[in-house]
């Protein structure tokens, strides 16, 4: 009997091939959409993490309170020791110190008089020690427009728009006018090594990027760091993990009564990123749900139609003495395998497309002009564990459910009525 | 006396709910069928032929009265018992063949045997015998869409006969066939009836079928109008 049913299933294209194609398509879309949304949301976080928040960030309590003002007078002192400790205790994280600062960039002419000037947001990062991966993290090499990356002390990068405005080119000297940790004015000369364009409005307006040791020297911040950023070595931000790590750190290494003691904050605990994290989790859930729901409806209907189409077969099987329950169960089993085959196929194809978009991305930089939040300029899907099973929800469950509903028709109807329909 | 009867019908009524009221499709049917009969229910459209055949086939139940088929009282069977009765003892032939299109002639005929848990060798022999009876041994690998209407109905007869049921119920088996094919399948059924002692009950208004019947039960508006018995030597 089983052999007989399998033969029927395989030979009847409208019973096997067509439903499998429909299920595959639905599952493929579900899987792809999920990976896509996850990727898009994740990318936005990674952008912000890389340029500003880290997956977690360590600051002094006072700095954290006023972090938008870049209060370097409240920076972490003796940050080398803290950094070493963090690296020791959390070896699966990449730790890197940074100093964010504000100031003026002054481009002098040959006589030393101001030729042009502009306000700048500065970022001191570990460029020259060569072991914190900052250049890759900030994507400096591919963001270069002119010149090259700094390779020795005293060199800096300017954002390309800013350099044009100031009318400087690589090789020119500029002066950073800022304030030291103690509040007095400081001047420090940099050679422009190159110019960069990140494709995000806020980073491209007026920034200067220099090695952190230079910045320390310029701002009189010996062994101090404004912040220490931690990044998951495996790459992606995981909210729960980051929040837990922060909680543990704060309960063991932070002192609530000392405003200079360090405090760790996860990405979600900084600025309004928390809202975004929540929002994105909700969104991903909603969109996936809506999609799963829609696909379920489609596949359920497909299952329903498939079942209805087979009333003739059902009739003859009843007539030769097969029991209703047996017919019903065999139809369910069939639809289960159809759903399973379609889901496996659809998941595979969906993952493949997701992988393509994860690897190559879709360029959306044109749509991102003027965005105030750091948004990625290319959308990349991100394949996560749920992608491997999420498609099976509409794929298997709805297909079986649809068949069940149409099968209930077999139960509801009097056998004789079924035969009437059969004769018609 | 009763034990020699394959079918005993006593005071049978069948009413269908229609809107708020009911429609009486069969009224006070009293009728017996002996083992090995070749009988037809004859009557105009709507006279209740199919309704009665469905009850005899345990596909439907009486509203009142009794129908004993091979000792089973139809209205009182569980669905399991009814299915078992059909599986073991009944064969159906329909006007529209109802063959499974994606299965071969052989598989269509083998289908009823799959439920009977017979060995493959037994099944093979029985299928080949049945196809021999209807003269289709050369078509075992064909599929129904490749066959003519007459051939399809012969496959359906083989399918109904393959398990050698005691009773075959045939509802307008010739309605879709031309004269030559009608006579062909009727002769086949007549032979099977003679050789296997299978009881045949037809529902028909086709004169070709009627001419083969040995007993004619005329229905009119759900009642038995008259019964004619054709004596073999007349
Ligand atoms: N399920 C049902 N519900 C309501 N009325 C029904 C039902 N089944 C049959 N009838 C009615 O019972 C009567 C007898 O129907 P039946 O199908 O037995 O006729 P028939 O003699 O087989 O006719 P035909 O030669 O057209 O096949 C008809 O008037 C039909 O409308
Ligand atoms: Mg009829």
Write down the pLDDT at residue B84: 95
pLDDT of residue A377: 61
Here the ipTM equals: 0.88
d(CA A24, CA A30): 10
Buried/exposed A207-237: b ≥16 CB within 10 Å, e otherwise: bbbbbbebbbbbbbbeebbbbbbbbbeeebb
Q: Kindly report the nearest CA distance between residue A277 and chain B, in angstroms.
A: 54
A138-192 pLDDT per residue, tens: 888 888 899 999 999 999 999 999 999 999 999 999 999 998 888 889 999 999 9
* pTM of the model as a whole: 0.71
Which residues sit opposite A117 in a β-bridge?
A106
For residue B72, the Cα-to-chain-centroid distance in whole angstroms is 17
pLDDT (mean) for B96-120: 92
Rounded to a whole number of angstroms, the distance from the CA of B79 to the nearest CA of chain A is: 8
CA torsion, ordered A328, A333, A339, A340, to nearest 10 deg:
170
Instruction: Give the per-residue pLDDT at B1.
Output: 41
Instruction: Please tell me the distance from the alpha carbon of residue A74 to that of residue B226, in angstroms, as a whole number.
Output: 113
Q: Hey, what long-range contacts does B16-22 have (CB within 8 A, 24 or more apart)?
A: none
Does the C-beta of B22 come closer than 6 Å to ligand 1?
Answer: no
For residues A60 and A196, give the distance between their C-alpha atoms in angstroms, rounded to a whole number. 30
The mean per-residue pLDDT over the stretch A335-355 comes to 93
Whether residues A318 and B100 touch (CB distance < 8 A) is answered with: no
Q: Check pLDDT > 80 for residue A210.
A: yes
A41 touches chain B (CB under 8 A): no
Tell me which of A170-174, A391-395, B202-206, B219-223 is least confident: A391-395
- The pLDDT value recorded for residue B2 is 43
Query: How much is the pLDDT for A368?
Result: 54
Which of B25, B79, B80, B77 lies closest to B53 in space, CA to CA? B25
Does A415 contact B59 at a Cβ distance shorter than 8 Å?
yes
State whether B87 and A8 contact (CB < 8 Å).
Answer: no
Confidence of residue B123 (pLDDT cuts 50, 70, 90): very high
Percent of chain A at pLDDT > 70 equals 93
Please tell me which of the candidates A7, A312, A419 has its beta carbon nearest to residue B103: A7
Q: pLDDT tens digits, residue range A99-146?
A: 999 999 999 887 878 888 999 999 999 999 877 788 888 888 888 899
Atom of ligand 1 nearest to the CA of B52: 18
Query: For A26, how many CA atoms within 13 A lie in the half-sphere containing its CB?
Result: 34
Is the CB of B165 within 6 Å of ligand 1? no
- Which residues 310-369 in chain A show a CB within 8 A of chain B? 312-313, 315-316, 318-324
pLDDT at site A47:
80
Does residue A321 sit in helix, strand or coil?
coil
Q: Select from A320, A416, A422 the Cβ nearest to the Cβ of B112.
A: A320
Closest C-alpha to ligand 1, atom 26: B45
pLDDT at A376 (0 to 100): 58
Instruction: Specify the residue with its C-alpha closest to ligand 1, atom 17.
Output: B50
Alpha-carbon dihedral angle through residues A60, A66, A70, A72, given to the nearest 10 degrees: -40
Window from A378-392, B14-28, B46-60, B116-130 with minimum mean pLDDT: A378-392
Distance B26 CA to ligand 1 centre (A): 9
- Please state, rounded to an integer, the average pLDDT across all residues of chain A: 85
Q: Indicate the helix (H) or strand (E) that contains A1.
A: none
Residues of B with CB below 8 A from A313's CB?
100
Q: Give the position, in ligand 1's atom list, of the atom nearest the Cα of B44.
A: 25
Answer whether B43 contacts ligand 1 (Cβ < 6 A).
Answer: yes
Q: Of the candidates A9, A21, A42, which has an alpha carbon nearest to the alpha carbon of residue A358?
A: A42
**pLDDT of A164:** 92
Question: Which stretches of A109-242 are assigned E, i.e. beta strand?
Answer: 114-125, 144-147, 155-159, 173-179, 185-196, 207-211, 227-232
- Summarised one tens digit per residue, pLDDT across range A348-357 is 999 999 999 8
Residue whose CA lies nearest to ligand 1 atom number 31: B46
pLDDT of residue B234 exceeding 60, the answer is: no
Q: In A321-398, where does DSSP find H-type helix?
A: 324-360, 386-389, 392
Q: Determine the distance in angstroms separating the CA of A309 from the nearest CA of chain B, rounded to an integer.
A: 13
Residue B91 beta carbon below 6 angstroms from any ligand 1 atom: no
Q: What is the largest CA-CA distance in chain B?
A: 55
The predicted pLDDT at position B8 comes to 96
pLDDT band at B146 (very low <50, low <70, confident <90, very high): very high
> Quick one: tokens of A38?
């996850």
Top-confidence residue, B147 or A358: B147
How distant, in Å, are the alpha carbons of A235, A281, B224 from that of A36? Answer: 17, 13, 73
């Amino acid at each position: 009997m089983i052999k007989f049913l399998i033969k029927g299933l395989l030979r009847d294209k409208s019973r096997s091939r067509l439903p499998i194609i429909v299920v595959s398509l639905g599952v493929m879309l579900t899987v792809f959409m999920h990976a896509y949304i996850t990727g898009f949301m994740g990318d936005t976080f990674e952008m912000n993490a890389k340029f500003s928040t880290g997956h977690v960030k360590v600051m002094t309590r006072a700095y954290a309170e006023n972090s938008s003002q870049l209060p370097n007078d409240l920076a972490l002192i003796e940050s080398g020791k803290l950094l070493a400790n963090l690296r020791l205790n959390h070896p699966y994280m990449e730790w890197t110190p940074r100093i964010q600062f504000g100031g003026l960039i002054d481009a002098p002419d040959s006589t030393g008089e101001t030729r042009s000037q502009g306000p700048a947001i500065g970022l001191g990062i570990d460029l020259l020690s060569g072991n914190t991966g900052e250049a890759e993290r900030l994507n400096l090499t591919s963001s270069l427009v002119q010149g090259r990356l700094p390779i020795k002390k005293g060199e800096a990068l300017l954002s390309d728009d800013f350099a044009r405005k100031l009318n400087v080119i690589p090789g020119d000297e500029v002066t950073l006018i800022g304030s030291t940790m103690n509040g007095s004015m400081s001047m420090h000369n940099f050679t422009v090594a190159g110019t960069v364009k990140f494709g995000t409005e806020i980073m491209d307006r007026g920034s200067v990027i220099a090695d952190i040791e230079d910045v320390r020297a310029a701002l009189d911040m010996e062994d101090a760091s404004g912040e220490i950023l931690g990044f998951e070595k495996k790459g992606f931000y995981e909210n729960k993990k980051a929040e837990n790590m922060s909680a543990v750190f704060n309960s063991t290494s932070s002192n609530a009564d000392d405003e200079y003691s360090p405090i760790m904050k996860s990405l979600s605990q900084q600025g309004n990123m928390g809202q975004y994290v929540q929002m994105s989790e909700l969104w991903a859930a909603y969109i996936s749900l809506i999609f799963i729901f829609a696909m379920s409806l489609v596949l359920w209907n497909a299952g329903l139609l498939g079942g209805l189409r087979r009333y003739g077969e059902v009739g003859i099987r009843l007539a030769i003495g097969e029991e209703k329950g047996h017919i019903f169960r065999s139809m369910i089993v069939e639809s289960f395998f159809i759903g399973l085959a379609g889901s496996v196929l659809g998941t595979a194809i969906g993952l493949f497309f997701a992988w393509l978009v994860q690897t190559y991305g879709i360029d959306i930089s044109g749509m991102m002009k003027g965005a105030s939040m750091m948004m990625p300029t290319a959308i990349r899907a991100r394949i996560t564990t749920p992608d491997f099973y999420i498609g099976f929800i509409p794929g298997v469950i709805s297909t079986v459910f649809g068949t069940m509903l149409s099968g209930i028709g077999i139960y509801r109807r009097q056998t004789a009525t079924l035969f009437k329909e059969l004769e018609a | 006396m009763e034990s020699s009867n394959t079918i005993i019908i006593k005071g049978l009524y069948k009413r269908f709910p229609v809107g708020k009221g009911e429609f009486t499709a069969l009224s006070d049917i009293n009728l017996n069928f002996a083992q090995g009969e070749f009988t037809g229910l004859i009557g105009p459209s709507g006279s209740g032929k199919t309704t009665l055949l469905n009850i005899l086939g345990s596909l439907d139940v009486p509203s009142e009265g009794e129908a004993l088929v091979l000792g089973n009282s139809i209205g009182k069977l569980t669905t399991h018992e009814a299915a078992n009765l059909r599986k073991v003892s009944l064969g159906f032939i329909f006007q529209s063949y109802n063959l499974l299109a994606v299965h071969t002639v052989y598989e269509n005929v083998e289908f009823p045997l799959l439920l009977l848990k017979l060995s493959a060798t037994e099944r093979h022999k029985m299928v080949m015998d049945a196809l021999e009876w209807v003269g289709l041994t050369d078509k075992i690998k064909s599929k129904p869409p490749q066959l003519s209407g007459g051939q399809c109905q012969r496959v359906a007869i083989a399918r109904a006969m393959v398990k050698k049921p005691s009773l075959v119920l045939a509802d307008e088996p010739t309605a879709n066939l031309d004269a030559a094919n009608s006579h062909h399948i009727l002769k086949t059924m007549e032979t099977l009836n003679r050789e296997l002692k299978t009881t045949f009950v037809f529902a028909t208004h086709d004169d070709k079928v009627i001419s083969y019947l040995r007993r004619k039960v005329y229905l009119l508006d759900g009642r038995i109008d008259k019964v004619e018995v054709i004596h073999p030597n007349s």
